[in-house]
Structure 1
Amino acid sequence: MTTTTDLTGKPRERVAHADWPAMAAEVNELGCALTRRILTPAECRSIAGLYDEAGLFRSTVDMARFRFGSGQYRYFDNPFPELVQQLREAFYPHLLPIARDWAAKLNRPAPWPDTLAEWLQLCHEAGQSKPTPILLRYQPGDWNALHRDLYGDLVFPLQVVIGLDEPGRDYSGGEFLLVEQRPRAQSRGTVTMLEQGCGLIFTTRDRPVRSARGWSASPVRHGVSTIRTGLRHTLGLVFHDAA
């Protein structure tokens, strides 16, 4: 998929004008799909620059301390910076049809309302009230272990990570890793180099794959390969809040 697009208008309009049928098909096939460029370099730098404003975040996680890998990330606190809020709200309605389709294929409940605000209210009523948008910073030697972002019983099955630095110029290494445990088969890996301003849509927990009995849930984990040089920032958009 091409990563070029018209960067006029607001980010929510750029998200809306993306080729959603093509991205939905790619997510269904691979478990992930790369968007066109949805943020300008200046917008990327503005978000990455927020990392040092500690007052914007509810917590900071040292990955090595918890054996998550090496590096650091921070969870935004409410209220979010406007651009982060816009992006989270912009993606949700376009991911929702995919989520509902997957639930139907796997014969699971589809508890997600039409709006993100309604869904987050359900999360909060269930005791999941901590905001989950993440700003991540990786330096040379840092990496992120394969994992899944599950913060409670209520889970939205898709999430988005947006590249804020330019690979090959600002850093090297740091490829996004997706590993799928396929039913009765060897695991399959997908590697994506995340260009600046582009988003990667990917499955949070698992996804439906065809099997002899119809559809089966294929567990998926994600991570980041070792940063070789430079500094890598990404914005992570999770669509369920945490307990």
Structure 2
Amino acid sequence: MSLDDAIARLDWPRIEAQLNEEGCAILPGVLDDDVIAELLLLPAVMPVSIADLRRRCYERLVPVANHWNALRDVSERFPDTLDELTAHRHGVAGDQAHSAFTRLGAGDDEALHQFAGSPDAFPLQLVALLSEPGKDFTGGEFVLTEQRPRMQSRPMVLPLRRGDLAVIAVAQRPHKGAKGYYRVNLKHAISRVRSGERIGLELLFDDITPGV
């Protein structure tokens, strides 16, 4: 199945509803064995298929991003295509600048972090898992934490499998409270890998979101 077909068959209304409710949603089985093998063979060179993946997912997610900005009182509105967004920022930008591999061995983890740059940046990003839990590694769960005002942080574990993507909030999402919408803060992490090697990928849509 092509990446286009894999993306088209997803239940996008459900994904949008989950993003609005939780700030995250799993896109199961989008990356097949051939795409994963291509990624792992030359990790320093982002395949054309991943560039296409970013473009296709952006087109599906831009309505959510614009809706979130309206609810968060952010004036920025994003164009319909990723190429238009890139041109709006500063012209042509390489896909490599928007991606980062994570290779974690036994005893490694990734601390809580977020890509909290400009408030005008695209508020969603993709993460992917390229290894199989229980076979290639143990531990290494993908964890999101959400901090609402005057409340304890709320952790969420995303049960990713090999080839799955997840859409997550880059830093903030709108949440409806008793007095209207307010912003909640999200960070993500990878718990300690107990054995084996966990390989993942983070993909950003916007190049004004420097890591923090």
TM-score scaled by length of structure 1: 0.79
Query: Residue 16 of structure 2 is aligned with which of 11, 21, 24?
Result: 24
SS of the equivalent of 2:26 reads strand
Instruction: Name the CA distance, whole Å, in 2 between partners of 1:232 and 1:204.
Output: 22
Shift of 1:152: 4.7
User: Any conservation in 1 of the 2:122–2:206 contact (CA below 8 Å)?
Assistant: yes
Instruction: Name the CA distance, whole Å, in 2 between partners of 1:130 and 1:224.
Output: 22
May I ask how many residue pairs the two structures share in their alignment? 208
Shift of 1:168: 0.5
Shift of 1:44: 1.5
Query: Residue 185 of structure 1 is aligned with which of 105, 129, 151?
Result: 151
Identity, in percent, stands at: 35
Deviations 1:206-228 (A, max 9, x none): 11111232000001111110111
Q: How does 1:25-40 map to 2 (within 5 A)?
A: 25-40=17-32
User: Any conservation in 2 of the 1:156–1:239 contact (CA below 8 Å)?
Assistant: yes
Deviations 1:172-195 (A, max 9, x none): 111111000012211111011320
User: Any conservation in 1 of the 2:55–2:82 contact (CA below 8 Å)?
Assistant: yes
SS of the equivalent of 1:165 reads coil
Q: Which segment is superposed worse, 34-43 or 175-184?
A: 34-43
SS of the equivalent of 2:25 reads strand
Shift of 1:155: 1.2
Tell me what 1:216 maps to. 182
Q: How does 1:78-97 map to 2 (within 5 A)?
A: 80-97=46-63
Instruction: Name the CA distance, whole Å, in 2 between partners of 1:194 and 1:13.
Output: 20
TM-score scaled by length of structure 2: 0.90
| Unmatched segments (≥5 aa) in structure 1 | 1-7, 57-79
Are positions 1:143 and 2:115 aligned together? no
User: Any conservation in 2 of the 1:174–1:226 contact (CA below 8 Å)?
Assistant: yes
Task: Give, as a single letter, the amino acid of the residue that structure 2 aligns with 1:177.
Answer: V
Query: Residue 171 of structure 1 is aligned with which of 112, 121, 137?
Result: 137
Instruction: Name the CA distance, whole Å, in 2 between partners of 1:181 and 1:211.
Output: 14
Tell me what 2:38 maps to. 46
Deviations 1:22-66 (A, max 9, x none): 011111111111112111123212212323xx5x3xxxxxxxxxx
Instruction: Name the CA distance, whole Å, in 2 between partners of 1:159 and 1:123.
Output: 17
Q: 1:114 to 1:154 in 2, by over 3 A?
A: same
| Unmatched segments (≥5 aa) in structure 2 | none
SS of the equivalent of 2:134 reads coil
Instruction: Name the CA distance, whole Å, in 2 between partners of 1:152 and 1:137.
Output: 27
Q: Which segment is superposed worse, 151-160 or 89-98?
A: 151-160
- Moved segments of 4+, more than 4 Å: 151-154
Tell me what 1:73 maps to. none
Shift of 1:111: 2.8
Q: Which protein has greater RCO, CA pairs closer than 8 Å, 6+ apart?
A: 2
Query: Residue 132 of structure 1 is aligned with which of 98, 112, 116?
Result: 98
Shift of 1:151: 4.7
Tell me what 1:77 maps to. none
SS of the equivalent of 1:96 reads helix
RMSD after superposition: 2.1
